[in-house]
Amino acid sequence: MPNAPVTLSALDLIDLVQRRRNLLVGPAIAGFVLAAIASLILPRYWHAQQGLLIRSDAAGYADQRLGKFTDLAEMKTVQETLLELARSRSVVEAVLTEVRGKTPTPRAIADFRDRLRFSPPGGAEFGKTEIFYLGVLDTNRDRAIALVESTARELDLRLQALRDQRAGSMVAEVGRSVEVARAQLTQHLESLAKFELSVGADLIELRHLISPTGGQSEFSARTLAIEADLRTLVQRSRENEALLNELELAATDPARLSATPDSLLAGQPGVRRLKSGLVEAQLNVARIAGARTPDHPFVLAARQAEVQVRNELSRELPTAIAGVKLELDVATQREAELRSQLQNLRLRSSELASKRSRYAEISANVDSQTRVLEGALKQLADAKAHRAGAESASLLSAIDTVETGVNPAGPGRTTIAATGGLAGLLLGAAIVFLLEAPVAPGSTPRRPITTQASKPAAGDFGSPVPPARTDVAPPAATVGSTLRSDAENWLASISGTRR
């Protein structure tokens, strides 16, 4: 059956403490003394820190609030850059040389980097606020303050130098870009001027063709006007041809002129008046002859008047026919001239249309290169503004003065000594409870350890010593007794050695 668990009562525990008080007090005193000595020997570091405020460059950023970062990523990048600058060899050497008055060794540089601290305000994440703290650990309080002040000053100077170098590099690079863009623009402008010179007088029309605003061009307006004149001229020529035909027929038969419409006689006012006079004379003869005899003087006079008008019309018709023919000849020449002008305009329009794509390409190249040059000039102005800002202004601002705590960083000497004593006490308690492990009733105590000299010889009892069995595991109580006996023997040997 398994043994029942063994427990210690309060009285047993008190008795155990009284009996083994040396094992409890000794390690506690030893731990206290060792911790106190260590606290006196080991250096204690003072933590000095300086609050700093970082802002963004104001030059060249007109689209954002002055001094504000565009986003958190930019602010975090700037603060990480400051951290790397503070840990750079040039800054560390300058700080240590200024404070200690001698050139630092590589070991001193490495130690300073290990004791350099960059921390955000309480409860914040590094890179999420514009404020951060620069701290340094040193065994001397005044030296820690001097190190922080020197580090902040050298960091500001190094940052300004870095900004100046970067701005100078940007100015050189963008200046070269401006030169290249200006040279390319000059080349495109020369090509454009040469092409426009080849176009000649039709340049305005060609520019109108590639204009994005559109609208009616001069060639289109002139073409429409010529076509309108041609239509009017053709219509007038047809009327004159019809009038000429009627006048030629009326030359042999004047009575036919009475049926000619007045619209055809609009250009012949004399013929039109004679036609009207002839019609009136005929009407007058008919009216008088209807009331009187044919040989009446009034009838004869009316007929005589009609004959006179008819004779006058006969004499006027050849002149009118010649005038109509002349007008037809002029109209024919004018029509030929207008058609020639129209053909010329169409040819010029065709030539301009063939040059339109090339001219549009050259103009687009000029416009594009002009925009490139404008952008490069703006970048150059921004870079020069950055360089001027780097030389005249600082991005770092100190918040108050350097601060240190009332006491050095870390636990005090009393706390260290008390911790050492407590650790020794716990060690002594562990040894005591190891030695005084309770043994369950009915278990076999461990046999004392014997040396090789105390072992009986094989022939003392007339038979050899049987070998020990190794396949049987000792009980738990036996293991505890064995450990306790080993500890007692070890302590006894230590006590004998001290005596």
Q: Residue 476 above 70 pLDDT?
A: no
pLDDT recorded at residue 83: 86
Q: What is the pLDDT of residue 488?
A: 58
Highest averaged pLDDT of the listed ranges 128-132, 244-248, 286-290: 128-132
Report the distance separating Cα 57 and Cα 337, nearest Å: 73
Mean pLDDT on 194-201: 84
According to the model, what pLDDT value does residue 176 have? 92
Q: Please report, for the chain, how many H helices and E strands are present, in that order.
A: 12, 4
How large is the average pLDDT for residues 340-367?
85
Q: Are 144 and 404 in contact (CB under 8 A)?
A: yes
Provide mean pLDDT across the span 226-254: 78
424 Cα distance to chain centroid: 63
Stretch 310-319: mean pLDDT, rounded? 70
- What single string gives the DSSP state of each residue in 27-62? HHHHHHHHHHHHHHHS---EEEEEEEEE----TT-T
Instruction: Please give the model's pTM, rounded to 2 decimal places.
Output: 0.51
423-438: pLDDT as tens digits: 888 888 888 777 766 5
Q: For residues 115 and 63, is the Cβ–Cβ distance under 8 A?
A: no
Which two structure tokens, joined as six digits, stand for 395? 């991005």
403 — pLDDT class (breaks 50, 70, 90):
confident
Helix (H) / strand (E) element for 137: namely strand 131-138
pLDDT of 183 > 90? The answer is yes
Q: What are the CA-CA distances from residue 450 to residues 130, 317, 479, 489 (Å)?
A: 76, 173, 17, 12
- CA atoms of 215 and 218, how far apart (whole Å): 10
At 76-89, the pLDDT tens digits run: 888 888 888 888 89
CB distance 128 to 120 below 8 Å: yes
Q: Is the pLDDT of residue 114 over 80?
A: yes
pLDDT of residue 182: 92
Q: Is the pLDDT of residue 226 over 90?
A: no
- Structure confidence by residue, pLDDT tens digits, 259-311: 566 566 656 666 666 666 666 667 777 777 777 777 777 777 777 777 776 76
Assign residue 231 a region: left if phi > 0, alpha if psi is -120 to 50, beta otherwise?
Answer: alpha
Mean pLDDT lowest among 10-19, 96-105, 125-134: 10-19
pLDDT of residue 107: 92
* Weakest-pLDDT range from 16-25, 350-359, 372-381, 465-474: 465-474
Of 99-108, 114-123, 467-476, the one with minimum mean pLDDT is 467-476
Phi, psi of 61 (to 5 degrees): -130, 75
Is the model's pLDDT at 446 over the cut of 60? Answer: no
The pLDDT score that the predictor gives to residue 123 is 67
Looking at residue 414, the DSSP 8-state letter turns out to be: H
Helices (H), 393-412: none
What is the per-residue pLDDT for 245?
77
Q: Which of 22, 46, 24, 14 is nearest to 403 (CA)?
A: 46
The residue-averaged pLDDT of 225-243 equals 83
Return d(Cα 474, Cα 434) in angstroms, integer.
18
CB 95 within 8 A of CB 138: no
Over the stretch 22-50, which tens digit does the pLDDT of each residue have?
777 888 888 888 888 887 777 778 888 88
pLDDT of residue 452: 39
Q: CB–CB of 470/54 below 8 Å? A: no
